[in-house]
A and B are shown apart, each in its own frame.
Chain A
Amino acid sequence: MIEKISKYLFEFQYKNGVLEEKERNLYEYAYNLLICRSVIYLVIVAVGVWMGNLKEIIVFLLSFISLRQYAGGIHLEKTEQCMIASGFLVCIAGEYLSKFSMPTVVIFWLWIVAVGCIWILAPVGCNNKKLDEIEQRVYRKCSRILLVNECFLIFIMFVAKHLWISKGIMLAQIILSINLILGWLKENFFTQRLVKTN
């Protein structure tokens, strides 16, 4: 559906002489990104307002996305699947945070493990975006800097008694570490097995 809209937008401008055929791939990719991002964030904000947990969703989303953009991790194959899973993940996390805002001992230990996983594994590429050596080096550095900053923010919020914000960032890092482990397994185990069988 989204691919069809992207194609239509390109075709419309191509027929009117604004864009050229050689720009097709780039612009279709660009429209795809723009539509997906706009739709998913609009849906998340609408659901957040409807469920009354917008502030929890924003805290989770900001800490998750800022780290995720450099750490990478597992990605789903189809755009629609990604959008549904992303929306579901963020809304469930927001709802969980609004219901259970106090950090527990289990969450604390899970977070410690998650920080270790992110530090070691990030960045993880995917089939649609393979990371070369330079990218790996740059993104590793960025994700580690962001990780340290977020950990520092968790500590500050904990001291300032904003425990739900601390827990929101912890939860984002726990989910991100699961994403990274799944992405790493997919890239290093399943992809290699498929290559061997072919």
Chain B
Amino acid sequence: MNKLVKTKNLMKIMGVVNCLAMALVAQTANTACAWILGQPKEPEEAKRMRRF
């Protein structure tokens, strides 16, 4: 029971993390550079988030 509650809470936290991560992907899809000196290989799905 305790394990189930813990997993459920963890999933809620992961939901927030997922939202943050996706917001970052959407932002970097519309820029030329992900962060200061880094740019991981951009997947095709991320390119579809381009707004122009």
Q: CB within 8 Å of B: which residues of A?
A: 9, 12-13, 16, 18, 23, 25-27, 29-34, 36-37, 40, 64-65, 68-76, 79, 82-83, 85-86, 89-90, 123-126, 128-129, 131, 134-135, 138-139, 179
The 7 A-B residue pairs with the shortest CB-CB distance, nearest first, are A82-B38, A72-B32, A30-B21, A86-B36, A25-B43, A69-B31, A26-B45
Contact status A82-B25, CB under 8 Å: no
**Contact-residue bracket for chain B:** 20 to 34
Where chain A touches its partner, the secondary structure class is helix
How far is it, in angstroms, between the C-alpha of A75 and the C-alpha of B40 when the chains are bound? 9
Q: Which residues of A contact B44 (CB under 8 A)?
A: 25
Shortest beta-carbon distance from B27 to chain A in Å: 9
Please name the residue on chain A nearest to B26 by beta carbon. Answer: A30
Q: Which residues of B contact A31 (CB under 8 A)?
A: 17, 21
How far is it, in angstroms, between the C-alpha of A136 and the C-alpha of B28 when the chains are bound? 15
